[in-house]
Chains A and B, each alone.
Chain A
Amino acid sequence: MKVGVVTFPGTLDDRDAARAATHAGTTAVSLWHNDADLKGVDAVILPGGFSYGDYLRCGAISRFAPVMEKIIDAANGGMPLLGICNGFQVLCEAHLLPGALTRNHELHFLCRDQKLEITNNQTAWTTSYKVGQEIVIPLKNGEGSFQCDDATLAALEGEGRIIARYVGENPNGSRNKIAGITNERGNVVGLMPHPEHAIDALTGPTADGLAFFTSVLNAMVK
């Protein structure tokens, strides 16, 4: 199975995402922002970083990259798509996911080992987890506070589309401690913390993040 990892100018975690995908047993394929070709991949990851320097708004420019047109089409057709951190921001800007990510409430960039609770294991990227499972993976961003209007929040809650919540103190002021959400279909997931930095205990706080990448393999094999 082939997982595409997109590099925009300013993307930082593309190698890490590719490493995680490889670790999980998939084949990572790098996709360039300026290509309008998905090279036959079965799933796509939009990795973290500061694409286009976060100019204008985080993700606002990347959303218009040529490769995104194909990705949006494929995602609308059911292709698994994971946006991590800046990738989550791009997904919101591209209207594949609702809401927006705003400045952390304490106004600092924050990097820490973050405890999450998985709250939906029915998406393409979370089937390897149990509902209620607590995991620790790195959180690192300056604009990670998830915001949306009350109606959207009610819909996300009502439809079980919140896939992970922060446990303990709210690190960034996200509504309802939201760390990640999915679309109605469950193929598109946006996640603020970084599972690709937690694939082994040598380089990450834990290996808890790897299951996001094995999940998508399972989803495709099924």
Chain B
Amino acid sequence: MALDTVAIAQANPDTNQPFAELGLKGDEYDRIKEILGRRPTSSELAMYSVMWSEHCSYKSSKVHLKQFGDKAVKTDALLVGIGENAGVVDVGQGYAVTFKIESHNHPSFIEPYQGAATGVGGIVRDILTMGARPIAVMDPLRFGPADAADTRRVLPGIIAGVGGYGNCLGLPNIGGEVVFDETYIGNPLVNALCVGVMKHSDIKLAKAAGAGNLVVLYGAKTGGDGIGGVSVLASETFDATGPAKRPAVQVGDPFVEKVLIECSLEIFAEDLVVGIQDLGGAGLSCATSELASGGSGGMKVELDRVPLRDATLSPEEILMSESQERMCAIVEPKHIERFLEICKKWDVTVTVIGEVTDGERLEITWHGDLIVDVPPRTVAHDGPVYNRPLAKPEYIDRVNAEVINVPRPETAEQIKETVLKLAATPNLADKSWVTSQYDRYVQGNTIQSQPDDSGMVRIDEKTNLGVAIATDANANWSYLNPYEGAKLALAEAARNIATAGAKPLAVTNCLNFGSPEDPGVMWQFAETVRGLADGCLEMGLPVTGGNVSFYNQTGAVAILPTPVIGVLGVIDDVRTRTPMSFDRAGLELYLLGDTHDDLAGSEWAYMHGQRGGKAPIADLQREMRLIDLLVAGRTSQIFTAAHDLSQGGLSATLTEMVLRHNIGAEINIENVGTTLISESPGRVVVAIEPAKADAVLALAAKQKIAAIKIGTTGGSSLVINGADIPLSQLRKAHTETFPRLFG
């Protein structure tokens, strides 16, 4: 293909351009022509196509996401808010923590190992880009039915990819989710979260300020992988009969990224950069246009200087390539020598590819010919905004009217059978088969990881300051009521932080949905954002950033609305955390919070093929009082253990508690047919020394939280209302599922 330059574009205004193949709509193409006052060159078209994709531009979600700004929580804790690579939160003692979740759903369906691996790699670079040392990762995952053939294809590859990349980076994996549902077949969800820590003064931003400063590309060489990943893959519905899209999936090399992290941290420590941006989705198109528009706008780049893995790549391909493990820094000329030295020490390829100018345009040349001449904001930020039609789907009223009719465990035999079935069902079964493929020990600061309610890492060895993170989504509730579903997921994630005694501080999210071109899906999305924004405002938790993944559908079948909510908390002394289970007999067990007949969206109902009913209504005031209770209980060391109730209700919580340290319990509960299986939100089981009973009751009374004694610890069985379930039998049921399904 002949080189298309700005001069040629001006001289030949009517050349036919493949905008539709690049994922642009006709009116979007017209708008580009309007902005430029001419047709775009093929390189400009490539840049706009990737940057105006749904994935990069948030064109369908923007009008809704602005609620996070409109309903923003007044807080001093947020040091960097939405819009940068990741939000930054003040956690005290001069430390700042940054965390974010991103999706890598479509690539992981096509090429499970590389899709998942580069998902981890991408989010880790986002965190690094803020100036932070990445300290942990988490991976909320969703798959089709556990016994489906395609699940057996994608799950082992995705787990191995998450592990293969994260392990090699030396990042402990401290938690996540593995959930199965038939709507995810063909659209597995791979969300990856990374958390990093830095001192306040070390925060870095994506900004190209200062004319004469150098634009430096460092890290891996650019190859032909991942070209158009964001526009072609992430922003279109899969067509069941379409051609394979594997060339659009990036291929990762975690060793290169590990070296890049250490090299970058050494560069940051010497304060050698003015601004920095990683190359992820949309590659150089994104990095150059975002850096330039973060500054005054002017930047010149000589694209032919970019080191290539494949010398035959065209300038358009170089601009669109999503080759992994690359970073772009803005460096003052006086620091460049030292910058190059550090790269040399780490054997990292580094090239000065351009400089910041005092103009307002991003100009890119190819062997001297001008091939891009654009106002960078129009590429990075002024993408199209769609107010897509939305309509409440017809299914909502229909399924909300359904009455749940499931077997209720009443006799000893039924109780035992129910507990064993819930313990073994794939959504609740032991996930060691997955988590044992992840390194949870590296860096030596992991305090909690799977199967704890939240992950927790120490960030200061002297003061024992730590952070806790949990991610949660309950897509069954979101399906029934997306507004309440989002609030309930937020409450659950916050509660999971608080059970260990950490104080929730900030929120991130990854909103996974079907096609925004479906008004029903768009309504689910709008309701979710409204619920999350209202919930965060009510709970006083700032939203630090997030990610939207649309087009998770095959044909007309969309996934369940799946807002994955991540909550970050802080704990002043990790040594005082409340563990999730008890390691001795003779403790008393209390159930905190009210239990109602909440079976809609429950695991027990799902196991009986029932997805209808009404989702619970979130009571966030009560949730906040429960959180205060849990944090106060930890501070005064009242609890020996505390564990959240969520999917699988009391049955699942007790199963996990007794199996953790192989200490049984004897439980007596009223209304067992509901209490054992209900999933009413806002509940926790705590274990205490008998002498602490008055203290717990006083704390509960103060916070107006119901507290009832349900039993005592000890023995080698879980005994519920006389139903004796030997721990060995319970363990067998709980642990055999994954090895049986996945080898």
Q: A residues near B, CB below 8 A?
A: 9-10, 12-13, 15-16, 19, 34, 49-50, 52-55, 108-112, 138, 140, 142, 194, 196-197, 199, 202-204
Interface: B30 (CB within 8 A): no
7 tightest Cβ-Cβ pairs between the two chains A and B: A53-B255, A12-B170, A197-B441, A16-B444, A50-B168, A138-B441, A109-B437
A7 to B267 CA separation, bound complex (whole angstroms): 18
Contacts of A49 in B (CB 8 A): 170
The answer to whether A53 and B254 touch across the interface, beta carbons within 8 angstroms, is: yes
Which of A34, A140, A203 is within 8 Å of B439, CB to CB?
A140
Q: A111-B438, A140-B441 are in contact. Are A203 and B447 (CB under 8 A)?
A: yes
The answer to whether A202 and B441 touch across the interface, beta carbons within 8 angstroms, is: no
The answer to whether A12 and B255 touch across the interface, beta carbons within 8 angstroms, is: no
Q: B residues near A, CB below 8 A?
A: 160, 163-164, 167-170, 253-256, 258-259, 345-347, 432, 435-447, 458, 461, 574-575
Inter-chain contact total with CB atoms closer than 8 Å: 86
The answer to whether A111 and B437 touch across the interface, beta carbons within 8 angstroms, is: yes
Cβ distance A116 to chain B, nearest Cβ, rounded Å: 15
The answer to whether A111 and B168 touch across the interface, beta carbons within 8 angstroms, is: no
Q: Name the CB-closest residue of A to B441.
A: A197
A2 to B212 CA separation, bound complex (whole angstroms): 47
The answer to whether B255 and A10 touch across the interface, beta carbons within 8 angstroms, is: yes
Contacts of B444 in A (CB 8 A): 15-16, 19, 196-197, 199, 203-204
Contacts of A197 in B (CB 8 A): 441-442, 444
Cβ distance A191 to chain B, nearest Cβ, rounded Å: 15
The answer to whether B436 and A110 touch across the interface, beta carbons within 8 angstroms, is: yes
A189 to B258 CA separation, bound complex (whole angstroms): 27
Cβ distance B218 to chain A, nearest Cβ, rounded Å: 15
The answer to whether B258 and A50 touch across the interface, beta carbons within 8 angstroms, is: yes
Contacts of A204 in B (CB 8 A): 441, 444
The residue in B255, B432, B461, B575 that gathers the most chain A C-beta atoms within 10 A of its C-beta is B255
Q: Name the CB-closest residue of A to B442.
A: A12
Q: Name the CB-closest residue of B to A34.
A: B345
A15-B444, A108-B436 given; 16 more Cβ-contact pairs under 8 Å:
A9-B259, A10-B255, A10-B259, A12-B169, A13-B442, A16-B444, A53-B168, A53-B258, A55-B255, A111-B435, A111-B436, A142-B167, A197-B441, A199-B444, A202-B458, A202-B574
A151 to B458 CA separation, bound complex (whole angstroms): 47
Which of A16, A19, A53, A110 is within 8 Å of B442, CB to CB?
A16
Q: A10-B258, A53-B254, A203-B458 are in contact. Are A109 and B442 (CB under 8 A)?
A: no
Cβ distance B500 to chain A, nearest Cβ, rounded Å: 13
A54 to B258 CA separation, bound complex (whole angstroms): 13
Cβ distance A49 to chain B, nearest Cβ, rounded Å: 7
A16 to B255 CA separation, bound complex (whole angstroms): 19
Contacts of B167 in A (CB 8 A): 50, 109, 140, 142
The residue in A19, A54, A111, A199 that gathers the most chain B C-beta atoms within 10 A of its C-beta is A111
The answer to whether A50 and B255 touch across the interface, beta carbons within 8 angstroms, is: yes
Can you list 25 contacts pairing A with B, beta carbon distance less than 8 Å? Answer: A9-B346, A10-B255, A12-B442, A34-B345, A50-B167, A50-B168, A53-B168, A53-B254, A54-B168, A54-B255, A55-B255, A108-B436, A109-B160, A109-B438, A110-B437, A111-B437, A111-B441, A140-B167, A140-B442, A142-B167, A196-B444, A202-B447, A202-B458, A203-B446, A203-B458
Cβ distance A128 to chain B, nearest Cβ, rounded Å: 20
Contacts of B435 in A (CB 8 A): 111
The answer to whether B440 and A16 touch across the interface, beta carbons within 8 angstroms, is: no
Cβ distance A209 to chain B, nearest Cβ, rounded Å: 11
Cβ distance B165 to chain A, nearest Cβ, rounded Å: 11
Contacts of A9 in B (CB 8 A): 255, 258-259, 346-347
Q: Name the CB-closest residue of A to B575.
A: A202
The answer to whether B168 and A15 touch across the interface, beta carbons within 8 angstroms, is: no
Q: Name the CB-closest residue of A to B577.
A: A202
Q: Name the CB-closest residue of A to B449.
A: A111
Q: Name the CB-closest residue of A to B171.
A: A12
Q: A9-B347, A13-B442, A138-B441 are in contact. Are A108 and B447 (CB under 8 A)?
A: no
The answer to whether A53 and B253 touch across the interface, beta carbons within 8 angstroms, is: yes
A202 to B446 CA separation, bound complex (whole angstroms): 8
The answer to whether B437 and A108 touch across the interface, beta carbons within 8 angstroms, is: yes
Q: A9-B346, A50-B258 are in contact. Are A109 and B164 (CB under 8 A)?
A: yes
Contacts of B443 in A (CB 8 A): 15-16
Q: Name the CB-closest residue of A to B446.
A: A203
